[in-house]
Chains A and B, each alone.
Chain A
Amino acid sequence: MIWKEQVECAGPADLKNLQSDYLSKLTAYIYNNCPVYKKKIDEAGVKPEDIKSIDDIKKLPFTTKVDMRDHYPYGLFSTDQSEVREIHVSSGTTGNPTLVGYTKDDVKLWSDVMARTMCCAGAEPGDTIQIAYGYGLFTGGLGFHYGAMEMGLRIIPTSAGQTARQLKIMQEFKPRIIACTPSYALYMAEEARDMGIDPAKGNWKIGIFGAEPWSDSIRREIEELWNMLATDVYGLSEIIGPGVAQECPHKDGLHIFSDVFYPEIINPESGEEVAEGEDGELVITTLTKQAIPLIRYRTRDIVSINYEKCRCGRTSPRISKIKGRTDDMIVVRGINVFPSQIEHVLVGIEGTQPYYQIVVDRKAHKLDEVEVLVEVEERIFSDEIKELKELQDKIRKEIGAVLSIGVKVTLVEPKTIERSMGKSKRIVDKRTL
């Protein structure tokens, strides 16, 4: 079923009218309620009354991750904190984390787009869903929870981890839908085999996988292993969390809920819009959010867009799977990792930045592993093993604390990390995504 047919299947003219109406209201709203945005809009030489149509969006300034960081915690909010009902925090690039907040209506919006997401994947009211995304500050768990509640699913909120119990719960309560990261789906298949369970005879028939990039070959692997339909969900906490875009069973792009999350695909250097079908950076405007609405937010994700009507009946445009990033962020087990975070730790410990390299690997059907190679320089070298091990341990603990995932730290000899143009090649991603 289609959860909100009147917008998901709206004709282009109706959709444009709706978006135009939302955008002009949004511009006035943030201009009057958020001093940071008022300043940005003034600096762009635009007046809220200039924004009449969705096409006028190009007159508005971009918002970046740096804006989020610089105005941490509340600078980009358009409501008083007393109106906020929920906050979520994700790790930032350096220093400040990214804080997002939701009013009661924002949570309703989130519930609505997540209900659309699950319907889009093929869920029907009355189905049971096992939510194995982490519940907590990460938006994954609660986002799915709200949407499942909204559309009338029976929820098993297992959260992430405790794989043996996840599998027992699958067998016992027979949920037709599983929501987790794609790498966890692979990992659980391996664990199932070890427990003597044939994953192909498992109960999950629909998977809603996201929070990390994955390819069609991983999709085929998951679908064969679990004998299920594996769909891709896209989202980011700055926009709302999961629920920005979702694949339908035709698996031909992710339907972006453009009536509320208006997409533009731009050339990341020039900021100009690229042609339909061309790769560019996805920029999203949250047309109806209240607490922390964002205008033209630069997601740094490279995608292409397709405005054709889909075979499923939806007219909402479809974005491709993420083809890359404009920065060097990588996603590991659903966590965003920036090299700058690791630099920050190393500079803190050693005083200056040593050469380092981040190696991400995924052994067959195992979870992602992060290894940080750090070149040993003379000023940190000691003839005593225990001091070197202490240093290694300290780096490991501090990086682990900043990233919220365990890493392995390996000390290596100087000049052994490959240099490119004088800079070290900072990330080696060996995963088959």
Chain B
Amino acid sequence: MKITQISVFLENRKGRLFDVCSLLGDNEINIRALTIAETESFGVLRIVVDKSDVAVKILKDNGFVANLTHVVAVEVGDKPGGLASVLKVFADNNVNIEYMYGFVEKFSDKALLVFRFADTDMAQQILAKNDIKVVTEKEIEGL
């Protein structure tokens, strides 16, 4: 199962992250996972929210550049070596990770991690074959 991530272009300027978050908050949209990749002059905010279609429309209506990307949220045992065991599966199967980040909250005793793959479909097949649990869009909304 793929889930939807919203990416937003942000200049390195005071208050821009606040602007995005308060805009989403005012519209009753809940952020589940978040990361920022930055360069010296700009950054890309990546978020997973409960209502991504609504959220991306609100962002665009307010002048932000935003797009939707498919990512995979994977359950990882919340213990030493938990992440490594999942990464080993990717490494053994030549699955290339573009980037990854953690969830803000958990919905079981497992940790949740968001992966962006170069080839999402292939990554999903490998995950399924190795019985690694991925989180569905529905589960994200219900978090």
Contacts and interface: CB of A to CB of B under 8 A. Distances in A.
Q: Do A and B interact with each other, yes or no?
A: yes
Interface of A: 376-378, 381-385, 388-389, 410-416
Given A381-B9, A383-B116, A415 B39 contact: no
Contacts of B124: none
Interface string B85-104: 00000000000001100000
Contact of A413 (B10, B98, B99): B10
A411 to B, nearest CB: 5
Given A381-B65, A384-B98, A415-B63, A376 B41 contact: no
Given A383-B46, A388-B44, A411-B9, 8 more contacts: A378-B66, A381-B9, A383-B5, A385-B37, A410-B42, A413-B10, A413-B64, A413-B65
Nearest to B9: A376
Interface in B1-46: 5, 7, 9-11, 16, 37-39, 41-42, 44, 46
Contact of B41 (A378, A383, A411): A411
Contacts of B65: 376-378, 381, 413-414
Nearest to B10: A413
B14 to A, nearest CB: 13
B108 to A, nearest CB: 27
Interface in B53-72: 60, 63-67, 69
Nearest to A375: B65
A309 to B, nearest CB: 56
12 contacts: A378-B67, A381-B67, A383-B5, A383-B7, A383-B46, A383-B116, A384-B98, A388-B39, A388-B42, A413-B16, A414-B63, A414-B65
A416 B41 CA distance: 14
A352 to B, nearest CB: 15
Nearest to B37: A385
Contacts, number: 55
Interface of B: 5, 7, 9-11, 16, 37-39, 41-42, 44, 46, 60, 63-67, 69, 98-99, 116
Contacts of A385: 37-39, 44
Nearest to B7: A383
A377, A382, A384 pick with most chain B CB within 10 angstroms: A384
B46 A411 contact: no
Nearest to A385: B37
Contacts of B60: 378
Contacts of A376: 9, 42, 65
Nearest to A380: B65
A152 to B, nearest CB: 53
Contacts of A414: 63-65
A413 B9 contact: yes
A378 B68 CA distance: 11
B18 to A, nearest CB: 14
A376 B42 CA distance: 11
Contacts of B67: 378, 381-383
B63 A412 contact: no
A382 B41 CA distance: 16
Contact of A412 (B5, B7, B11, B116): B11
A416 B11 contact: yes
Contacts of A382: 7, 67
A177 B91 CA distance: 67
A389 B98 CA distance: 15
Contacts of A415: 63
